[in-house]
Amino acid sequence: MVRFIVAGIAVLLSIGNATAAIEVFLAPPGWQRSTDSTVEIKDYLTSKKSGDKTVENSYLPVIFSAVEIYRNQVQKQINGMFTQTELKKYSGTICKIDITTGNTAIDDPDPPELFALDYYADNSRAGCQVLIKKLEKLVTHGRFRQYPVRAKEHGMLSIDMLWVYS
């Protein structure tokens, strides 16, 4: 009985101390698989965990590699802009936000822009609105001003990303 109580307390403490975060995934091209709604995104992420390689197979390795490096860096930075309380508050929220450079020259100094329609995923909810504001600051300043050059050189002018508060 004592072991059961101790085990229960340990489980409760570990749940309470779990670290919340925003996970960022590359969305597959719309012509291959739609990820506009929350249901479609959840379905895609479930299949991705089962080994779906739609995104990886959609781009040349040089493009995928450049975009993955950028995604990893943005994910790390954006998580540092939120408190654990904020992240837990928005847990379960799914956003679809595109980082786009538009049809500009490779060496264009203008920063990327964000594109987020309210009807995509949970984009109209508070968690996505907060994320969009913080992300705008991140991609328009510092090292994230520079869109991945290799991706742009090969014609990829927009990176569609799925943002999941977990």
Averaged over 72-88, what is the pLDDT?
Answer: 92
User: For 116-165, how does the pLDDT look when each residue is reduced to its tens digit (9 = 90+)?
Assistant: 888 788 889 999 999 999 998 888 776 667 788 888 888 888 889 999 99
Strand residues in 27-145 grouped as ranges (E): 94-100, 113-115
Q: Is residue 94 part of a domain?
A: yes
Which domain, by its residues, includes 60?
A: 19-165
Confidence band for 4, pLDDT divided at 50, 70 and 90? very low
Q: Is residue 5 part of a domain?
A: no
Cβ pair 112, 135 in contact under 8 A = no
pLDDT, residue 93, reads 95
Lowest mean pLDDT, pick from 38-47, 52-61, 66-75: 52-61
Q: Closest Cα partner for 149 from 62, 74, 78?
A: 62
- Report how many domains make up the chain: 1
Q: Is residue 63 part of a domain?
A: yes
Q: Is residue 1 part of a domain?
A: no
